[in-house]
Amino acid sequence: MDQTPAFEKGKWYFTLSYYDEKGTIPLIETIVFVGLDLIEGDTRNPERTWYFKQPDSFLSTGDRVTPAEYEHCVRYGEDTIELVLDLPALIARLQR
């Protein structure tokens, strides 16, 4: 990855997949960005990791992530972060 994507802490983003192989029925998931590389010294994952929360978790605890919550965060690495879209990118994808 040439450039680190810029995400704003506490802002909501989306993932887009489809229920069908033809891509006619979209499945949109809302996630909230809570931080980058939150686990210091994580030797299991040498690449950058972006952490997101589900909206219900974010509404109850905000962007704070306790060690017990790390495993429940939605995580994306350098090879998958492009799947996370802001609203303009989501709209553009849906209009294709």
Least confident of 11-15, 61-65, 82-86, 90-94: 61-65
**% of the chain residues with pLDDT over 90:** 59
Domain ranges of the chain: 12-94
The structure's pTM equals 0.84
pLDDT bracket for residue 72 (50, 70, 90): confident
Over 90: is that where the pLDDT of 37 sits?
no
| Spatial separation of the C-alpha atoms in residues 67 and 69, rounded to whole Å | 5
Provide the Cα torsion 50, 9, 33, 63; round to 10°.
Answer: 110
Provide the token pair at 36: 């980058």
